[in-house]
Structure 1
């Protein structure tokens, strides 16, 4: 039938298909209320894509909890193409589709589907059609969202429909088009096409009641003829909500059928998966014969294709099911449960649970067993839902509490911290706090820590260590409590937690007993007061290596590992942890680990990998609505932005970090934000601003005061202080780094100690310190910091008039900064290098020299035009303020101006004409 009033929508679909044909694929979500015409637009797109391979599936409420159900339907026609995929991808996809026992790795599955579609698209364009995406199971939805966001260079179009605006969830980021109701004139044309010769009065009342909904326009005239009309189609007033009227319309259609046919429709509606064999077996027990099937199919409400059943519109099964008495629904679910094979545990349990109207331990136990199977398949959300329903059906409060606690842990591992928190609270209301602590393994403290409430988390965790039955879990809770205290910057709480960890009796658990010396040495060697117990580097490295075999909760925070200088070992451990968490689909923990990987990759000079890890961690954290974890990923992105000179990104990321961390008292994150701001200002040539931010890290009582970050930021603090002449700051900072280097032998601290001493020393002693910094074994493993040392050394050599040596250091520094993308320091190195060889200067500054400015005068003029003071310019160029004034006195007459105000209006990067 012709589409009325959909010119804009069909044009959008035509553009989507045309772009895909031109290898500019994309996704599009059509969304709007049920019956608004989304499916008709899908059919239009399928018809318009006559030269494309069309793959389609439809979400159903009953299968919404079955992992990869929609993906199975979508790919069924092309399963023979699995052999064309790389072996790991093919194995993962077979596991997801139930074709093997391979683990269902979500990320490999997404890559496999993308590869499969790309292979198909090499032969002809591909159109992926997903109807009723709001009911697609979570696993399939995440996979399809992954694919739709990555087909920009493929002849692939992904078209989805749903009820809600896809501003969040699996379709987030995809283009969306809201499908609204038809205008009255278009609605009247459609109605006339549906019911030729319809009475004008009835047509007006139908258009008014339908509110532009095409499905209502199809159904309401029939309803009016089958009822008295006046009760359902008001003659005046505003359009009424379409949903209830359509349900009544569909129910009226069903009421016209014989009882056995209505029973068949109810069975199909309750089954929800479209399995014709199951419905047939259940119906046979009710005496539903061939005539009932024939009538149901003739009615147009139900269609059959092979072994699949499908209602003409999703509102039909909803209306039939909701409009049936509970007793009938109860009997239907019992019949369906009996018709299912014994190994369909979850489906049987779901039907029996839907039929239960009072506590039933047998059904609750079956649900619990089904949930255990889901957990083995990493289907956490489904397991949590089953366990919650099992708790509702549990006759005994103790059983209900146990199942609620298990549901909370399943929800937590699935990344739904808010659901986990609610389940813990429900269990506590039922049986009190301590039983839930024991059953959940102290989950309440972990939830508070993940939420970013470190002091409250510390309180719960230290209290709950004695309540959990497992020794290993007690150690894990205690270790997280130490970490929570560290996050809060509370040395007193950290010492308290350390004492509790030491007091755990691990003699009965050999695995934990062997781990305890490692944990005790690790956490005992450092506290936030700065007191350090020496620990040999081989033992320190062993700490990290041994932790690679345990839960993520036992891993130390990355800044602390960096302070010890053993971050290389931790990076390997974190990568293993990330792979395990991906396999288990534990999104919350994965977001945390990715944020830490990003920081370590940044330090190691793998900035591209760091950005990918931080961005993925941020996306996952936002998906599970964990703003505290999102803040940690923002720290990684901010660290990169500071080095790249991306001022707006630095401001955005640090502002959002502080909005979360300051109210919750997470000083570690607040300190990270201030450090990022300080580095950004320092690299941008604003040392006074940098020093102001960096000194907050050592200011007692400040929201960003944190000893670990103060130590790590000391090299930046000293450099800024030297540039602005704040000698009172320098001594303490240098001593702090040198003392740490002596106690730990950390490579970064030894390198920084030499570099900082060079900055404050003069004469030949400075050169010896610079050389010592560059010669520290392993210093090159952090290329950005190594290049910073070379830059400072090169600047010192230039001032000592050793131009050839200076050029060597500066060129090497500039090459590293260019490779990393650290533009501010790259430009600084190039400016310094130009000054070492004045013959090279015109190559860098051709246009300005045409106006008669020397290379150094141009540098001074540019900085003055940016409103830097003479002292700030002197600090950045490593000359005296008096020399700056001398250069400006030469610049003004050469440019024909008399003030800085006029200087700011000159384009010093172009032809030196007034802008």
Structure 2
């Protein structure tokens, strides 16, 4: 079995074994808390002791009182060797092992065991292994202590395991080594290896709860429970404890006096480490000074002033889990009575834990406690408290109200599945409308996060008229518009926008200036579904008005990109992310991070984009907000496309389409198609690129989406130009130019000039570069310079071409856009050709274009792919290759590939 994070310990054991094999005996006590991995280390030593005689025993509570019971287990395999001992020692050892009625002589027995082991060691090294040494009988313990201190001159290694450092008792004076808990990274590896199907949230929850204890790491993932299912306690839920953990941690407590065990249970149930409260609660349980002394001497509990602390976080969980229900209830009643008058929340928690029937008074106390939790942004605790309040509510309507509030708190805490279950339970008890009102229209929000956007639109639009206040209606209405946009349904978007604009916001001064901004963001549609923009929403302080708005009012980033006002919104999202972090609203934070990543990507902050997308993906998956997770994945796929990592693009987009296409989330499907198209385009496969990009504008397709068709239009036109699809180029140019004229968006103006340049040439390239500064979107600016440089090279303006291509290559290199950097450098090589033949190899006489074709053919590109890159026909490529082969003295592409290195260094002929 692989031991994670135990390299130092196993190395120490291996060294002791090697020394014993060389004749230098020793002993070592491995000590640490139950379940920490001492037995696993002993097993490692047994496995590593090749060729040694291994004798082992294990202490058990059942045999603690039987003299020499452990020694009998240890020596029974070699009992036949007693005949080799001197008679007095043999007789004494037979008596200890129950083989004769000889009286026990402790010294003779110890000497006999030492002699027996020494005799065995003359044949081969001996390894003595004693696991759970504190539980072996006292007689064996003293015997083995005697032996362990006297094996230095023999090839004997004695290994023992215990719970405490051996500074007293039979092992006093022996070398010892504490076994600590695993580091978090090693703990994660252990859980992943032990439970291969465990999701990231389960792994993290297990690592957090186990405190590095390997037994807990093995057992916790299989127990269920955890944050959502655990019983309520004052500070948090108890960790579920399995039978092995319970036995390991409770064994020592069971040997203590009843009042001491009661004290430990009180401390475990109290949960906060308040010594004064535990002291007052234990007054009626026979807890006195001697009880405290025994509890502290047990090593299970520590005290520092007024604070109590268990030695390991699993100990209170095991003690609490090992107690009977009546014992737990009695402990909580005692603690509730012992709390000061102002500890209202703690008293409510303890009274709830002690209750075994419906109790409205306690439920109301818990509801008040939950309200205070929400005030300090402790959403997860509020959800647990409200759920327990619902369990104690006698009236179904009260239970439904509290469950609805619990569902909203669970969602805000980032637990979508828990929120969905609570919401379902609330609706069963109280009906849809009251629950929608109390949860703030949570059903539609959950559906929007992980479901069908059309169904989300239905719920959100329905609940706009149910929730309290204009603010709630505006928030739901905005998400309804966004859901319709996500579904690619302009008709539903018009309907939701109409409902949103009909909300009476005059009563809320904060909303009145926001609604016009929302209308500007979402524009409106004519009867054909075409966008009819109003004034650009980035003008004036429109974006700034959203700085303090909830996430529901923020527009989706692709729409922001279309309007060309990413900069102001980036500042808004940064502010929102900081606020959500402070409030621990993880689901909303994941949404904001997914959008921030896209803005960072287009601003050239690729490392920041990758960081935000990765964090957003983790939070969204933990929260169960799968559409948000897909958004983060798609940002990572966009990065991968620019970096030339086709495998990663395929992985992320396949995952995205699997999640989005069946649910009709066309915005996400369109984004996946777009990134696949860009990956193909950057990789020199324009025909493949078109297959992915054209569906964005095809009505009825799973990836058809107006906004993404607009944003992808420049890529689509570039790919179309490379394969000779002039009709597609003209169509996409018209789309982009119309949008640029209506909105004035900088990216659209630049893109329109760039697309015109495919026909017009230099003037349009210069206009495109002037329209998009390098600071707006450095990647797109560099793409324009690359295309311009290629045009200049073909126009034989080599110096100008080198300048543009070098600038493009520098930007691509800084960003990590490998495919386009390679393309820019290849074009630079062609532009830098001087016309002098290479005298270091056979003369070729290739023209510049023939050399370029030969290089690409040597890389394995087909004639059509070469044609697409060089903007010539595939027939022209064939003509050039027909000239190249005789000039190089070859007859096939295979031979061309073998001389590719020479081609890259060879200068062109004067005919270039």
CA offsets per residue over residues 563-586 of structure 1, 9 Å max, x none? 111111111111111111111111
- Distance (whole Å) between structure 2 residues aligned to residue 130 and residue 360 of structure 1: 45
Aligned residue in 2 for 1:97? none
Partner of residue 769 from structure 1, selected from 752, 764, 770: 764
Give 1:834 deviation, angstroms.
Answer: 2.3
Q: Tell me whether 1:791 sits opposite 2:761 in the alignment.
A: no
- Distance (whole Å) between structure 2 residues aligned to residue 164 and residue 7 of structure 1: 12
CA offsets per residue over residues 181-210 of structure 1, 9 Å max, x none? 9xxxxxxxxxxxxxxxxxxxxxxxxxxxxx
Partner of residue 11 from structure 1, selected from 7, 10, 27: 7
Aligned residue in 2 for 1:818? 813
Contact 1:698 1:710 in 2 (8 A): yes
Give 1:373 deviation, angstroms.
Answer: 2.7
Contact 1:847 1:910 in 2 (8 A): no
Aligned residue in 2 for 1:571? 570
Give 1:272 deviation, angstroms.
Answer: 4.1
Give 1:867 deviation, angstroms.
Answer: 4.2
Partner of residue 881 from structure 1, selected from 852, 867, 874: 874
Give 1:626 deviation, angstroms.
Answer: 2.6
Counterparts of 1:622-701 in structure 2, within 5 Å, are 622-701=621-700
Aligned residue in 1 for 2:861? 868
Q: 1:846 to 1:357 in 2, by over 3 A?
A: farther
CA offsets per residue over residues 527-572 of structure 1, 9 Å max, x none? 8955333433476554322222211101111111111111111111
What are the ranges of 5 or more consecutive residues in structure 2 without an aligned counterpart? 14-32, 43-176, 217-240, 906-912
Q: Tell me whether 1:559 sits opposite 2:558 in the alignment.
A: yes
Give 1:852 deviation, angstroms.
Answer: 7.6
- Distance (whole Å) between structure 2 residues aligned to residue 6 and residue 808 of structure 1: 58
Tell me which moved more, 691-700 or 505-514. 505-514
Give 1:792 deviation, angstroms.
Answer: 1.6
Partner SS for 1:512: coil
Give 1:820 deviation, angstroms.
Answer: 1.8
- Distance (whole Å) between structure 2 residues aligned to residue 268 and residue 908 of structure 1: 76
Q: 1:620 to 1:39 in 2, by over 3 A?
A: farther
Contact 1:274 1:308 in 2 (8 A): yes
Q: 1:290 to 1:840 in 2, by over 3 A?
A: farther
Q: Which has the larger radius of gyration?
A: 2
- Distance (whole Å) between structure 1 residues aligned to residue 616 and residue 840 of structure 2: 45
- Distance (whole Å) between structure 1 residues aligned to residue 541 and residue 278 of structure 2: 60
Q: TM-score normalized by structure 1?
A: 0.72
Give 1:863 deviation, angstroms.
Answer: 2.6
Give 1:394 deviation, angstroms.
Answer: 1.8
Q: 1:180 to 1:571 in 2, by over 3 A?
A: closer
Q: 1:531 to 1:838 in 2, by over 3 A?
A: same
Give 1:776 deviation, angstroms.
Answer: 2.2
- Distance (whole Å) between structure 2 residues aligned to residue 273 and residue 478 of structure 1: 43
CA offsets per residue over residues 470-493 of structure 1, 9 Å max, x none? 111101101101100100111111
- Distance (whole Å) between structure 1 residues aligned to residue 552 and residue 668 of structure 2: 18
CA root-mean-square deviation:
4.0
CA offsets per residue over residues 136-192 of structure 1, 9 Å max, x none? xxxxxxxx96xx79xxxxxxx9999999858623865999999589xxxxxxxxxxx
Partner SS for 1:839: coil
Counterparts of 1:201-280 in structure 2, within 5 Å, are 244=243, 259-280=258-279
Counterparts of 1:307-346 in structure 2, within 5 Å, are 307=306, 309=308, 321-322=320-321, 324-346=323-345
CA offsets per residue over residues 72-127 of structure 1, 9 Å max, x none? xxxxxxxxxxxxxxxxxxxxxxxxxxxxxxxxxxxxxxxxxxxxxxxxxxxxxxx9
Aligned residue in 2 for 1:804? 799
Contact 2:855 2:903 in 1 (8 A): no
- Distance (whole Å) between structure 1 residues aligned to residue 213 and residue 301 of structure 2: 28
- Distance (whole Å) between structure 2 residues aligned to residue 479 and residue 724 of structure 1: 42
Q: 1:850 to 1:556 in 2, by over 3 A?
A: farther
- Distance (whole Å) between structure 2 residues aligned to residue 539 and residue 368 of structure 1: 43
Q: 1:259 to 1:548 in 2, by over 3 A?
A: closer
Counterparts of 1:349-748 in structure 2, within 5 Å, are 349-525=348-524, 531-537=530-536, 540=539, 542-748=541-747
Contact 1:491 1:528 in 2 (8 A): no
Q: TM-score normalized by structure 2?
A: 0.72
Q: 1:886 to 1:475 in 2, by over 3 A?
A: same
Contact 2:494 2:525 in 1 (8 A): no
What are the ranges of 5 or more consecutive residues in structure 1 without an aligned counterpart? 18-33, 44-126, 134-143, 150-156, 182-241
Give 1:803 deviation, angstroms.
Answer: 2.3
Alignment coverage as a number of residue pairs? 725
Contact 1:678 1:691 in 2 (8 A): yes
Contact 2:250 2:322 in 1 (8 A): yes
Give 1:671 deviation, angstroms.
Answer: 0.6
- Distance (whole Å) between structure 2 residues aligned to residue 583 and residue 525 of structure 1: 36
Tell me which moved more, 480-489 or 368-377. 368-377
Partner SS for 2:340: coil
Counterparts of 1:158-177 in structure 2, within 5 Å, are 168-169=200-201
Give 1:420 deviation, angstroms.
Answer: 0.7
- Distance (whole Å) between structure 1 residues aligned to residue 845 and residue 35 of structure 2: 71
Give 1:597 deviation, angstroms.
Answer: 1.2
Contact 1:337 1:348 in 2 (8 A): yes
CA offsets per residue over residues 291-340 of structure 1, 9 Å max, x none? 44455566777666665556678777566545555334322211112223
- Distance (whole Å) between structure 2 residues aligned to residue 847 and residue 495 of structure 1: 71
Q: 1:760 to 1:264 in 2, by over 3 A?
A: same
Contact 1:847 1:912 in 2 (8 A): no
- Distance (whole Å) between structure 2 residues aligned to residue 128 and residue 591 of structure 1: 41
- Distance (whole Å) between structure 1 residues aligned to residue 496 and residue 339 of structure 2: 52
- Distance (whole Å) between structure 1 residues aligned to residue 300 and residue 863 of structure 2: 82
- Distance (whole Å) between structure 2 residues aligned to residue 180 and residue 557 of structure 1: 46
Partner of residue 892 from structure 2, selected from 884, 895, 899: 899
- Distance (whole Å) between structure 1 residues aligned to residue 194 and residue 272 of structure 2: 22
Partner SS for 1:282: helix
Tell me which moved more, 476-485 or 6-15. 6-15
Give 1:851 deviation, angstroms.
Answer: 7.8
Tell me which moved more, 537-546 or 246-255. 246-255
Partner SS for 2:701: coil
Aligned residue in 2 for 1:284? 283
- Distance (whole Å) between structure 2 residues aligned to residue 700 and residue 813 of structure 1: 36
Partner SS for 1:511: coil
Partner SS for 1:285: helix
- Distance (whole Å) between structure 2 residues aligned to residue 848 and residue 445 of structure 1: 72
Tell me which moved more, 287-296 or 566-575. 287-296
CA offsets per residue over residues 677-701 of structure 1, 9 Å max, x none? 1111111111111111110111121
Give 1:6 deviation, angstroms.
Answer: 11
Give 1:807 deviation, angstroms.
Answer: 2.4
Contact 2:250 2:318 in 1 (8 A): yes
Contact 2:830 2:852 in 1 (8 A): no
Give 1:822 deviation, angstroms.
Answer: 1.6
Q: 1:261 to 1:349 in 2, by over 3 A?
A: same
Q: 1:739 to 1:277 in 2, by over 3 A?
A: same
CA offsets per residue over residues 191-250 of structure 1, 9 Å max, x none? xxxxxxxxxxxxxxxxxxxxxxxxxxxxxxxxxxxxxxxxxxxxxxxxxxx955886898
Q: 1:773 to 1:433 in 2, by over 3 A?
A: same
Give 1:621 deviation, angstroms.
Answer: 1.7
Partner SS for 1:421: helix
- Distance (whole Å) between structure 2 residues aligned to residue 256 and residue 817 of structure 1: 70
Partner of residue 826 from structure 2, selected from 827, 831, 844: 831
